[in-house]
Structure 1
Amino acid sequence: MEEKKVIRSSQHGFTKGKSCLTNLIAFHDETTTWMDEGRAVDIVYLDFSKAFNTVFHSILIGKLKKCGLDKWTVRWIEDWLNGRSQMADLRGS
């Protein structure tokens, strides 16, 4: 994958020698550079960890559509959720 340049150099997850920490450092460096240049910077954090365990995926997708997210973002999230399983833990069972 690396030799054929399938993975971009900006990819940090699941890449040898890179991690969440290197991603955070690169992100911080780039955004502070833009701010120093007087450019506008918008950052959106998405944390779906609780939603995956508490809401049916079809309901979550419906709510995201109603919130006004563009169709490509909703499709990206829907594709990411596709095939993932959910489970509940009740007193260790």
Structure 2
Amino acid sequence: MPHGTIWWVRIRGKANKADVMVGVCYTPANQDEEADEIFYKHLGEVSQSLALVLMWDFNLPDVCWKYNAAERKQSRRFLERVEDKFLAQLVRETMRKGDPLDLFVNREGFVRNVMVGDHLGHSDHKMIEFPIL
């Protein structure tokens, strides 16, 4: 039963600013449906109460962000969950091997000026930079 990896970091807001939850996740291309559902459950819990920034390598190459469509069942289910949680995709540029790195937020306007940088060391992944406002 292949499972992905996710790390959550809570950034405490100063003074009257809200906390922000940052998630970084990797999902193998052959992850099973049970593992997906566990993640979606956690995502639902986190996205309800906190400002959320989620960076993810989903390995869903059939997702077309322009038309919000996908060929495979797993990818369509992912798109439905993203829509259910009101997550906005912020990166459209290809990050590696033709796939975008998915960068989502659940609150409009608190992440801006997303910049795609160079590769980090010998990795085939590119870096992204953005301020959290």
User: When the two structures are superposed, what TM-score results if normalisation uses the length of structure 1?
Assistant: 0.30
Q: Choose between structure 1 and 2: higher helix proportion.
A: 1
Higher relative contact order (CA 8 A, sep 6+): 2
**Structure label with greater radius of gyration:** 1
Higher strand share: 2
